[in-house]
Amino acid sequence: MNEVMEKISLIGIVPVIKIDDIKKAVPLARALCKGGIPVAEITFRTEQAEEAIARISKEVPEMLVGAGTVLNVAQVDAAVRAGAKFIVSPGFNPTVVGYCVNKQIPITPGCTNASDMERAIGLGLEVVKFFPAEAAGGIKMIKSLAGPFGNMKFMPTGGIDANNLNDYLSFPKVLACGGSWMVPEQLIQEGNFERITELSSEAMSQMLGFTLAHVGINCDNEEKAGAAATQFSGLFHLSQNHGEGSIFTGNIVEFMKNPYKGLHGHIAIGTNYINRAMRYLSDQGCTFDETTARYDAKGNLKAMYLTDEIGGFAVHLVQK
């Protein structure tokens, strides 16, 4: 998969935006980035699209900006000239797709049936847009198509919002979801970019689903860990699970038999998508200790510590 699609996958959500007032383009892009979504698909449904892409590319370089509703080769050229890093089309236009493939321009054409999928594969594509997602059968249809086309990834758009976002993203073949619920047209017209930042942040929170997994407490030795675990489990009627290096009481508190990371211990934060969570936190300045990475039997990352402690506690992410 190309680098642009990998970046989109780590972000997980692609705002689909129509720009009517060119003056709104840059502050809108900054509002999205501030809310944790540094990507946007600017649709070629207005005359301002090309200039909007150009201004965002120049003034908000941290944003991955692409062009949507691209219907012909001329629009591809205009979008790329303005700085678009990817192209999205509503349907499968073989002329447009072939042109982008030959020019090595990332493109995700709209595909909703097996014939479209076969043509996409024939041109070497690894990701397609599924549009209009809900009207075309939703996640059930995507799962049906993924059966015979196991190597294809999907970017569903159309009818997706905070309520069904994770229904799509929880399926591994879904690369990311496109939507407009965090960028409603009225807020753009009003210039209410603060609210757009809030909605973007809420969308990321909904997607990542951060929860407290457990708290680890450092004990000096196994004897003290056992005494503390017995007292805690007795008070709150919790079972004990003895491991090689720690004792879990229920799934709430882990008593370390010897001091581990963190002055006092560690805090485990569960998340729906650990790789996306790491991207999100990295954009906020966090770094990760890669020596602490843990993987499941299939080689998927399941846990990793942040480099810095917070309040004397080490912090690590856990894949739910």
* Residue 104 Ramachandran class (φ > 0 left, ψ -120 to 50 alpha, else beta): left
Q: CA nearest 177: which of 166, 187, 188, 192? A: 166
Q: What fold does the segment set 3-208 form as a domain?
A: TIM Barrel (3.20.20)
**pLDDT-derived band at 1, boundaries 50, 70, 90:** confident
> Looking at residues 197-223, what average pLDDT do you find?
98
**Residue 130 forms beta bridges with which residues?**
156
Residue 93 sits at φ, ψ, to 5 deg, of -100, 105
Residue 130 sits at φ, ψ, to 5 deg, of -110, 105
Tell me, letter by letter, the H, E, C secondary structure of the chain. Answer: CCHHHHHHHHHCEEEEECCCCHHHHHHHHHHHHHCCCCEEEEECCCCCHHHHHHHHHHHCCCCEEEEECCCCHHHHHHHHHHCCCCEEECCCCHHHHHHHHHHCCCEEEECCCHHHHHHHHHCCCCEEEECCCCCCCHHHHHHHHHCCCCCCEEEEECCCCCCCHHHHHCCCCECCEEECCCCCHHHHHHCCHHHHHHHHHHHHHHHHCCEEEEEEEECCCHHHHHHHHHHHHHHHCCCEEECCCEEEECCCEEEECCCCCCCCEEEEEEECCHHHHHHHHHHCCCCEEEEEEEECCCCCEEEEEECCCECCEEEEEEEC
pTM for this structure? 0.94
Are 154 and 175 in contact, with CB atoms under 8 Å apart?
A: yes
Q: Would strands 253-256 and 211-218 be described as parallel, antiparallel, or unpaired?
A: parallel
> Looking at residues 213-232, what average pLDDT do you find?
97
Set 85, 129, 257, 261: catalytic member: 129
Q: How far is the CA of 184 from the CAs of 30, 199, 318, in angstroms? A: 16, 10, 33
Q: Report the interhelical angle of 193-208 vs 25-34 (nearest 10°).
A: 40
All CATH 3.10.180.10 domain ranges of the chain, comma separated, are: 211-319
pLDDT at 180: 97
In whole angstroms, give the CA distance from residue 161 to residue 75: 28
Are 120 and 97 in contact, with CB atoms under 8 Å apart?
A: yes
Q: Exposure pattern of 220-230 as b/e (b: 16+ CB <10 Å)?
A: eebeebbebbe
Is 320 tagged catalytic? Answer: no
Structural tokens at position 189: 């017209």
- CATH pick for 211-319 out of 3.40.1080.10, 3.40.50.360, 3.20.20.60, 3.10.180.10: 3.10.180.10
Given CA atoms 39, 11, 286, 312 in this order, what sign does their dihedral have?
A: positive
Average per-residue pLDDT in the chain? 97
**pLDDT-derived band at 319, boundaries 50, 70, 90:** very high
Rounded to an integer, what is the distance from CA 134 to the centroid of its chain?
A: 20
pLDDT at 79: 98
Set 18, 24, 41, 153: catalytic member: 41
Are 213 and 254 in contact, with CB atoms under 8 Å apart?
A: no
**pLDDT-derived band at 91, boundaries 50, 70, 90:** very high
All CATH 3.20.20.70 domain ranges of the chain, comma separated, are: 3-208
147's CB contacts (< 8 A; 6+ apart) are none
pLDDT tens-digit readout, 118-177: 999 999 999 999 999 999 999 999 999 999 999 999 999 999 999 999 999 999 999 999
Is 143 tagged catalytic? Answer: no
pLDDT tens-digit readout, 241-295: 999 999 999 999 999 999 999 999 999 999 999 999 999 999 999 999 999 999 9
* Residue 36 Ramachandran class (φ > 0 left, ψ -120 to 50 alpha, else beta): left
Q: Report the interhelical angle of 274-283 vs 193-208 (nearest 10°).
A: 150
Q: What percent of the chain has pLDDT over 70?
A: 100
In whole angstroms, give the CA distance from residue 286 to residue 270: 17
